Structure 1
Amino acid sequence: MPTEAPVLEVQDLSLRFKGAPANIVDGLSFAVRPGETLCIVGESGCGKSVTALSLMGLLPRGVARVMSGTATFAGQDLLALPERALADLRGDRISMIFQEPMTSLNPSYRIGDQISEIVLRHRPVNRVQARARALEMLERVKIPAASSRLDDYPHELSGGMRQRVMIAMALANDPVLLIADEPTTALDVTIQAQIIDLIEDLQKESGTALIMITHDLGVVAEIADRVCVMYAGRAVEEGPVAAIFDDPQHPYTIGLMSSVPSVGPRSGRLATIGGMVPAIDNMPSGCRFTPRCPFAGTGCETTPALVELGPSHRAACHYAPLERAFAEAAG
């Protein structure tokens, strides 16, 4: 486990959309260190992608407002930087792999030119050198016959190849922080596994810190060092991946784990979490998971704090640790 100072440290981040009655992200804190993989997990609508876009400065400033918090990267608060300074960081020291490459790649430009553009923007090179770097990156992400693909347009590539191009673009300038937002959602299962393996291999080669946003607990189990479980804009549990999988302590985390299909024999139906993530204009007071929680009771109308349950393992539940609460109830 990495022990160096964090590459990125987010403290008490709260975001609100214009006209919304509640924060879409509320009091979120996490850190990621060199070479570490932090997976941010949760259902759609929990605020994962909004968090990533805010760190990259890609939310429209007239629509999304930072209510509180800091995001410290290399001694600078990303949330307070002017647009020009953020543009200098994006694609250079911080990069992002987006969910759908067909909408992220420009359909009017050849892929070699799109990778070259990023290199030219941030490195003192000429066009010949930038094109050579683009070819090198296509080879690193294992695109077959890379030299003949440089002049292809995005529509001439398969979904898996387009995602490899997105990875090549993200890593072209050797970033120290890589954010991957559901990078395999639009791909079939076989290609998903290849892309995850590729990201993991390239991260190990470079020592890049990785924030992986996903709802796929299989991916989390394979690549995560640490896990942050989000629900309705808040972190409800966080800790080392082994602690989260072996001893989940928030009812939402338990529900996510129980709803994952297993390869072995199973009796009965898969568990489900009733209801859905609340809309921004209908956020419950106190614990936001209360309407869906099977353990909800007295006290849940107040917001629970993240409490330490073990080494670097915290959960935001009034009844945590759950074993103690169940024992007391039984007694």
Structure 2
Amino acid sequence: MTGSGTPLLEVANLELRIGAAPEPIVDGVSFTLDPGETLCIVGESGCGKSLTALALMGLLATPPLRRTAGTALFQGEDLFALSQDRLRQVRGGRMAMIFQEPMSSLNPALKIGEQIAESVRVHQGLGTEAARARAVEMLERVGIPAAEKRLDEYPHQLSGGMRQRAMIAMALANDPSLLIADEPTTALDVTIQAQILDLMRNLSEESDAALIMITHDLGVVAEMADKVAVMYAGRIVEAGSTAQIFDDPQHPYTLGLISSMPALGGARSRLVTIPGSVPSPTDMPSGCRFAARCPFVGPDCAVAPPGREIAQGHSVACWRAPLEEAMAERQERSA
């Protein structure tokens, strides 16, 4: 589902640095999000996906991290220019985040119901009874059985899937316009993963909330996304609709990610891998950050390629794009 008109969120040229590192660890990240739209940010661990989300939520650990450039207009307000009081009003109210591991995000000393009720008391000014009723309603809404009973249980008394549902209930309790989910299904088995993804999709459609989902799982991307931003070493290297990214990948990193997906059915074969690893956040290369792992690398890759649109809504930051030409040249040289 995609919206129209004024974007809900416009992030422009976000730059984050760590300590005295010479290169930013998140560099020039830009994207827009409409009401009701789902954006998946995909990439390996260490690519800056979670840092981008934490920056938007005002939850960066500063120091050593700091924002050195960029704006994030959310419903007309720049999130990076808000006072702490105003940011607290927005965070948890109009925008909320689901973290990867509920056991490290939920307070182990407080009952589940108390944690949900606290959120609605702060943001909606509800009294104790009304807040408890809202907590029960939210637990029922996310499919937790015997919600009244679960309300008075502690996080450790719930299964992993139940804890994740409780986190989603807490995030949605104030009907946010924007929901950020950071690897929300990583620690769950496949059946529970599917249930959580269905739940998030349905709740987003019901409330017209926009969703930013951070993941390294391309299966999740294919199932959930309206559009995709592929992130590598702190930069968005390719962005487009889900169909554009999967049907016509134009960055060597995107191509490598898609090629590394196991095929269903057919003869078994060795998985394709991307050689090397993501550069260290404190030792980012100054040119194309994928150059050391790229099969198409050339002398011009010593300079960072700018993002450019190769089709409507489809942008790529690679000197070799379109890759069809680079592949043909490579085949000619090897012939």
Q: Please classify the TM superposition score into its range, dividing by the shorter chain length.
A: over 0.9
- Contact 1:239 1:313 (C-alpha < 8 Å) held by counterparts: yes
Q: 1:279-302 CA deviation, whole Å, 9 max, x = no partner?
A: 022222210000000110121101
Question: In the alignment, does 2:38 pair up with 1:37?
Answer: yes
Distance 2:93 2:268 in 1: 50
Q: Quote the residue 2:218 is aligned against.
A: 217
Question: In the alignment, does 2:321 pair up with 1:320?
Answer: yes
- Contact 1:260 1:270 (C-alpha < 8 Å) held by counterparts: yes
- Contact 2:7 2:33 (C-alpha < 8 Å) held by counterparts: yes
Q: Look up the equivalent residue of 2:133 and give its one-letter code.
A: A
Q: 1:58-84 CA deviation, whole Å, 9 max, x = no partner?
A: 012332211111001121111121211
SS at match of 2:301: coil
Distance 2:63 2:236 in 1: 26
* Corresponding pairs, count: 331
Mapping of residues 239-250 of structure 1, within 5 Å = 239-250=240-251
- Contact 1:15 1:68 (C-alpha < 8 Å) held by counterparts: yes
Question: After alignment, is 13-22 or 249-258 more displaced?
Answer: 13-22
Distance 2:273 2:63 in 1: 38
Q: Quote the residue 1:107 is aligned against.
A: 108
Q: Quote the residue 2:77 is aligned against.
A: 76
Q: 1:135-174 CA deviation, whole Å, 9 max, x = no partner?
A: 0000000001111111000010000000000000000000
Q: Quote the residue 2:297 is aligned against.
A: 296
Q: Look up the equivalent residue of 2:301 and give its one-letter code.
A: C
Mapping of residues 83-122 of structure 1, within 5 Å = 83-122=84-123
Q: Quote the residue 1:21 is aligned against.
A: 22
SS at match of 1:281: coil
Q: Look up the equivalent residue of 1:311 and give its one-letter code.
A: Q
Question: After alignment, is 320-329 or 56-65 more displaced?
Answer: 320-329
Mapping of residues 1-331 of structure 1, within 5 Å = 1-266=2-267, 268-327=269-328, 330=332
In the superposition, the TM-score normalised over structure 2's length comes to 0.96
- Contact 1:21 1:280 (C-alpha < 8 Å) held by counterparts: no
Is the alpha carbon distance of 1:266 and 1:231 closer, same or farther for their aligned partners in structure 2, counting shifts above 3 Å? Answer: farther
Distance 2:171 2:121 in 1: 14
Q: CA deviation at 1:323?
A: 1.4
Question: After alignment, is 229-238 or 2-11 more displaced?
Answer: 2-11
Q: Look up the equivalent residue of 2:202 and give its one-letter code.
A: D
Q: CA deviation at 1:268?
A: 3.0
Distance 1:94 1:105 in 2: 18
SS at match of 1:237: strand
Identity of aligned residues (%): 63
- Contact 1:7 1:34 (C-alpha < 8 Å) held by counterparts: yes
- Contact 1:46 1:277 (C-alpha < 8 Å) held by counterparts: yes
Q: CA deviation at 1:25?
A: 0.3
SS at match of 2:70: strand
- Contact 1:4 1:34 (C-alpha < 8 Å) held by counterparts: no
Q: CA deviation at 1:267?
A: 5.1
Instruction: Please give the root-mean-square deviation of Cα atoms over the aligned residues, in Å.
Output: 1.2
Distance 2:81 2:23 in 1: 22
Q: CA deviation at 1:85?
A: 1.2
Q: Look up the equivalent residue of 1:263 and give its one-letter code.
A: L
SS at match of 1:152: coil
What runs of 5+ residues in structure 1 fail to find an aligned partner?
Answer: none
In the superposition, the TM-score normalised over structure 1's length comes to 0.97
Q: Look up the equivalent residue of 1:316 and give its one-letter code.
A: A
Q: CA deviation at 1:327?
A: 4.0
Distance 1:212 1:301 in 2: 32
SS at match of 2:197: helix
